[in-house]
Amino acid sequence: MPTYDQIVDQVIESIKEIVSHDLAIDENTDLISDLEFDSLKVMNLIEDVEDYFDISIPLNVLADVRTIKDLALQLERLTGKN
């Protein structure tokens, strides 16, 4: 089971593959307002982390995800079930 910090690091790496510009990204970065993610970019990010962690993220979980920290906490919960 990955640690919270490992999850955050992987999410940030996945984001860096999606965004075309260098931004200071940390766990408090908002996916929509700070990174200007549209629904396609969000789904690309979700697909990437699902593949990396070998999990499936239920779509209803995404309603509560605004920041990298929100996503990391959900991933931590989901990977803890494996």
Look at residue 81 in the predicted model and tell me its pLDDT.
Answer: 61
pLDDT per position as a tens digit, 61-76 = 999 999 999 999 999 9
Number of domains in the chain: 1
pLDDT per position as a tens digit, 14-53 = 999 999 777 889 999 999 999 999 999 999 999 999 999 9
Whether residue 56 is predicted with pLDDT greater than 70 in this model: the reply is: yes
Measured distance between the N- and C-terminal CA atoms of the chain, rounded to whole angstroms:
8
Look at residue 40 in the predicted model and tell me its pLDDT.
Answer: 94
Is 5 exposed, middle or buried, given 0-12, 13-18 or 19+ CB atoms closer than 10 A?
exposed
Which tokens sit at 1?
A: 């089971």
Max Cα separation, the chain?
A: 35
Q: Can you give the residue range of the structural domain that contains 55?
A: 4-19+26-79
Show Cβ contacts of residue 64 under 8 Å, excluding neighbours closer than 6 positions: 70, 74
- The Cα 22–Cα 74 span in angstroms is 25
* DSSP secondary structure code for residue 67 in this structure: B
Whether residue 82 is predicted with pLDDT greater than 50 in this model: the reply is: no
For residue 69, give the CATH number of its domain: 1.10.1200.10
User: pTM for the full model?
Assistant: 0.91
